């Protein structure tokens, strides 16, 4: 900042504060910095008065950087003494107050006000104060400006592709100023096609009382030896252009000026026309675009016949300066390749990347969540139920109604076996110890295994292997006895052949009535006849019945290979996990509802085994 000339508001070392969290604008500035060859980012920090101190992540070329975020502008200024520009993205309601806040900080020289519609009285006050404090305001209602190869304000110049096409990544010889941001971007492109490019471009904004005028910037350009020609766009309404006429007459502007005042079409209307900007309305004949263009031409400016030949006039002046060797064209530097954002590259089908993991059962990246190939709206429209959802997410297809109903039945009958089993006991103890729901549930679920729930998988595997091997029920029983192994799915502590388990009756009856075939269930019933002949409680229990019936179901709806794969993966035990979690959560909630006084320590249950003197 110390070596900056008074006619330069921005150079390659300029850094700015961005007032308000405008991440898109910041990223565009940083992208420009990279292609312009800047070594340091042009954004020193973001001031977010409604947020907290911290950092925001951005790209600087191919690398990621952290840009500091401050709640206080004063604090930001204390941390970054070199910053002399604030780009103010505050709303029109608070833009004036935040600009005054910037005025109170001596190091901040230039304030760019983006908001449109700042109250005119407040802008007139700010303009007076700016002159008193030797501050520079660009705006309001501006997109800002650009110094190619050095500094870009916010969203000026549009996308990085437009920046490169308009040669805004490196300096040229032309100084440009207008009121309109949209016309500025168009003019930058025209300048790039007809000259060696832009040196600096500013849009002062379309509100009635801008902080700086067209003439203010033309006079800066006049002082800058690197700027060889001037280009300007005025507009209908107001008298700013006549100050340029006076400056030309007084030789305050000596460099060639190509200028056009837009709005000549207003004469085609019978009534007064208000154009887009607050000041773009002719209140008298002298404020018309035609009158201004005539005055500018008489004062020595190069004025085209219409906007259509604006570029042609610019080219004529440029070529004349080249011929006189006032402008010496330089070789075009190699363009810096801007890395494409990954998401944009994917959308454009320019890159491919192996997935970290693959999921084929659901997808929530589209307009609505999809289970398999079924949108969630169809899940409810077709009323496929919990069993249907489970069949899609587990088996990647919607099974028939009888199958999804069986799934729901299996979940219902496995929901709880009472408080004495290991899972329920552990859940209860963890709950009484003050643990939360998830911790208590996990405590119970971790006990699931061959003696608690795992028999569903074990029975399915044991019986299907014996059946597939062609063993008779007697051979199967004899083999297991020879191995000294229990037959999983056979046996019950309480129930017997004379006191059957109603859950087994319900499940097996449903299977016999609705399944396409039940070869494994029939096989298990024959095994049961042999085992109950030895002891009447060696019946087919509920875990075994569910597992065996599920094998019959899967083999009816899937290929045998697919069905066997699911059995080996433990899918059937998933039914027990799902169903039992319902019961264990119930035990957790039940214990939370009970008063502490109803709970006895487990020690009380075993105290009777101690010697009398130790009780």
Burial 275-288 (b: 16+ CB within 10 A, else e): bebbbbbbeeeebb
Residue 602 confidence (pLDDT): 52
DSSP 521: H
CA distance 378 to 14: 57
Q: CA geometry: angle at 89 spanning 83 and 91, to 5°?
A: 140
Residue 284 confidence (pLDDT): 60
Lowest mean pLDDT among 103-112, 239-248, 393-402, 572-581: 572-581
Supply the DSSP string of 560-600, one letter for each residue.
HHHHHHHHHHTHHHHHHHHHHHHHHHHHHHHHHHS-GGG--
Report the pLDDT averaged over residues 352-371: 87
With the CA atoms of 132, 135, 140 and 142 taken in that order, what torsion angle do they form, in degrees rounded to the nearest 10?
Answer: 150
Report the pLDDT averaged over residues 424-438: 91
Lowest mean pLDDT among 230-234, 344-348, 495-499: 344-348
pLDDT at residue 279 is higher than 60: no
Indicate if the alpha-carbon torsion angle 507, 508, 509, 510 is positive or negative.
positive
Q: Can you read off the two tokens belonging to residue 584? A: 């264990």
pLDDT at residue 539 is higher than 90: yes
- E-assigned strand segments in 510-577: none
Whole-structure pTM value? 0.66
* Residue bearing the bigger pLDDT, 195 or 4: 195
- The count of C-alpha atoms lying within 13 angstroms of the C-alpha of 248, restricted to the half-sphere facing its C-beta, is 19
Residue in the block written with tokens 């900080």? 105
Of 253, 245, 233, which is closest to residue 310 (Cα–Cα)?
A: 233
Burial 232-263 (b: 16+ CB within 10 A, else e): bbbbbbbebbbbbbebbeeeebebbbbbbbbb
Phi-psi group of 519: left, alpha or beta (phi > 0 → left; psi -120 to 50 → alpha; rest → beta): alpha
Distances (CA, A) of 98 to 24, 49, 81, 135: 21, 10, 19, 14
pLDDT band, very low/low/confident/very high, at 607 (cuts 50, 70, 90) = very low
Q: Which residues contact 27 (CB under 8 A, 6 or more apart)?
A: 58, 59
Report the pLDDT averaged over residues 434-451: 89
Report the pLDDT averaged over residues 482-509: 93
Cβ 458 vs Cβ 550: under 8 Å: no
Cβ 551 vs Cβ 505: under 8 Å: no
pLDDT band, very low/low/confident/very high, at 169 (cuts 50, 70, 90) = very high
Q: Can you read off the two tokens belonging to residue 109? A: 């020289």
CA distance 227 to 173: 5
DSSP 363: E
Q: What number of other Cβ atoms are within 10 A of residue 62's Cβ?
A: 9
Lowest mean pLDDT among 68-72, 418-422, 512-516, 525-529: 418-422
pLDDT band, very low/low/confident/very high, at 398 (cuts 50, 70, 90) = very high
Of 149, 208, 197, which is closest to residue 174 (Cα–Cα)?
A: 197
pLDDT at residue 281 is higher than 60: no
Catalytic annotation, residues? 277
Residue 268 confidence (pLDDT): 47
Residue 343 confidence (pLDDT): 83
Residue 606 confidence (pLDDT): 47
Supply the DSSP string of 254-286, one letter for each residue.
-S-EEEEEE-GGGGGSSS----SSTT---SSGG
Averaged confidence pLDDT in the chain: 90
Residue in the block written with tokens 């009447």? 536
Report the pLDDT averaged over residues 174-199: 94
Residue 371 confidence (pLDDT): 95
Q: What number of other Cβ atoms are within 10 A of residue 21's Cβ?
A: 16
Report phi then psi at 152, rounded to 5. -130, 135
Q: Is the peptide bond before 140 cis (omega within 30 degrees of 0)?
A: yes
Report the pLDDT averaged over residues 201-214: 94
Report phi then psi at 244, rounded to 5. -70, -40
- Residue 138, classed as helix, strand or coil, is strand
pLDDT band, very low/low/confident/very high, at 60 (cuts 50, 70, 90) = very high
Report the pLDDT averaged over residues 440-461: 84
pLDDT at residue 111 is higher than 90: yes
Residue 337 confidence (pLDDT): 86
Residue 347 confidence (pLDDT): 85
Q: Which residues contact 162 (CB under 8 A, 6 or more apart)?
A: 185, 189
Report phi then psi at 595, rounded to 5. -75, 150
Report the pLDDT averaged over residues 119-134: 96
Cβ 173 vs Cβ 196: under 8 Å: yes
- The count of C-alpha atoms lying within 13 angstroms of the C-alpha of 579, restricted to the half-sphere facing its C-beta, is 26
pLDDT at residue 382 is higher than 70: yes
Report the pLDDT averaged over residues 96-104: 98
Q: Which residues contact 443 (CB under 8 A, 6 or more apart)?
A: 426, 427, 429, 430, 435
pLDDT band, very low/low/confident/very high, at 598 (cuts 50, 70, 90) = low
Residue 592 confidence (pLDDT): 87
pLDDT band, very low/low/confident/very high, at 277 (cuts 50, 70, 90) = very low
Report the pLDDT averaged over residues 585-603: 72
Q: What number of other Cβ atoms are within 10 A of residue 343's Cβ?
A: 8
pLDDT at residue 16 is higher than 60: yes
Question: Which residues does residue 65 pair with via DSSP β-bridges, in sequence order?
Answer: 58
Residue 600 confidence (pLDDT): 54
Question: Which residues does residue 230 pair with via DSSP β-bridges, in sequence order?
Answer: 175, 257
Could you tell me the maximum CA-CA distance found in the chain, to the nearest angstrom?
123
- The full set of domains in the chain, from first to last, is 16-323 (3.40.50.261), 354-397 (no CATH), 414-598 (1.10.230.10)
pLDDT at residue 30 is higher than 90: yes
């Amino acid at each position: 900042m110390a070596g900056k000339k008074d006619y330069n508001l921005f150079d390659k070392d300029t850094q700015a504060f961005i007032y308000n969290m405008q991440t898109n604008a910041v990223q565009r500035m940083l992208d420009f910095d990279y292609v312009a060859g800047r070594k340091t980012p042009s954004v020193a920090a973001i001031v977010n008065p409604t947020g907290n101190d911290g950092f925001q992540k951005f790209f600087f070329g191919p690398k990621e950087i952290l840009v500091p975020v401050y709640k206080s502008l004063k604090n930001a200024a204390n941390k970054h003494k070199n910053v002399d520009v604030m780009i103010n993205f505050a709303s029109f309601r608070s833009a004036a107050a935040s600009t005054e806040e910037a005025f109170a900080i001596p190091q901040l020289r230039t304030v760019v006000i983006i908001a449109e519609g700042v109250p005119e009285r407040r802008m007139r006050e700010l303009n007076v104060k700016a002159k008193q404090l030797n501050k520079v305001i660009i705006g309001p209602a501006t997109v800002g400006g650009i110094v190619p190869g050095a500094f870009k304000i916010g969203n000026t110049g549009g996308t990085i592709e437009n920046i490169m096409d308009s040669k805004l990544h490196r300096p040229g010889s032309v100084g440009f100023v207008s009121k309109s941001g949209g016309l500025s971007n168009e003019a930058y492109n025209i300048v790039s096609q007809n000259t060696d490019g832009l040196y600096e471009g500013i849009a002062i904004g379309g509100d009635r009382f801008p902080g700086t005028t067209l003439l203010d910037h033309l006079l800066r350009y006049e002082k800058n030896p690197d700027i060889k020609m001037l280009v300007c766009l005025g507009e209908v309404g107001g008298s700013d252009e006549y100050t340029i006429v006076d400056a030309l007459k007084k030789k305050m502007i000596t460099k060639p000026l190509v200028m056009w005042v837009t709005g000549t079409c207003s004469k085609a209307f019978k009534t007064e026309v208000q154009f887009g900007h607050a000041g773009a309305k002719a209140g008298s004949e002298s404020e018309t675009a035609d009158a201004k263009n005539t005055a500018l031409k008489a004062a020595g400016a190069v004025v085209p016949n219409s906007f259509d030949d604006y570029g042609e006039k610019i080219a004529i002046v440029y070529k004349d300066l080249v011929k006189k060797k006032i402008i010496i064209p330089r070789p075009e530097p190699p363009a810096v390749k801007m890395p494409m954002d990954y998401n944009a590259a994917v959308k454009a089908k320019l890159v491919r990347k192996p997935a970290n993991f693959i999921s084929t059962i659901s997808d929530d990246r589209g307009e609505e969540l999809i289970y398999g190939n079924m949108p969630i709206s169809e899940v409810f429209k077709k009323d496929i139920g919990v069993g249907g959802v489970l069949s899609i997410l587990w088996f990647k297809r919607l099974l028939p109604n009888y199958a999804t109903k069986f799934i729901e039945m299996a979940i219902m009958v496995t929901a709880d076996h009472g408080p004495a089993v290991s899972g329920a006991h552990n859940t209860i103890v963890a709950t009484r110890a003050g643990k939360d729901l998830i911790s208590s549930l996990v405590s119970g679920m971790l006990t699931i295994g061959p003696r608690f729930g795992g028999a569903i998988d074990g029975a399915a595997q044991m019986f299907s292997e014996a059946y597939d091997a062609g063993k008779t029920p007697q051979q199967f029983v004899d083999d297991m006895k020879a191995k000294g192994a229990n037959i999983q799915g056979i046996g019950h502590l309480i129930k017997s052949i004379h006191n059957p388990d109603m859950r087994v009756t319900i499940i097996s009856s449903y299977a016999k009535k609705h399944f396409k075939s039940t070869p494994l269930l029939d096989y298990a019933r024959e095994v049961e006849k042999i085992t109950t002949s030895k002891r009447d409680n060696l019946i087919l229990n509920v875990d075994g019945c569910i597992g065996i019936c599920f094998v019959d179901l899967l083999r009816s709806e899937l290929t045998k290979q697919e069905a066997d794969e699911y059995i080996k993966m433990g899918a059937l035990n998933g039914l027990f996990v799902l169903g039992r979690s319902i019961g264990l959560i119930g035990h957790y909630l039940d214990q939370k509802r009970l008063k502490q006084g109803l709970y006895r320590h487990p020690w009380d249950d075993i105290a009777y085994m101690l010697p009398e003197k130790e009780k």
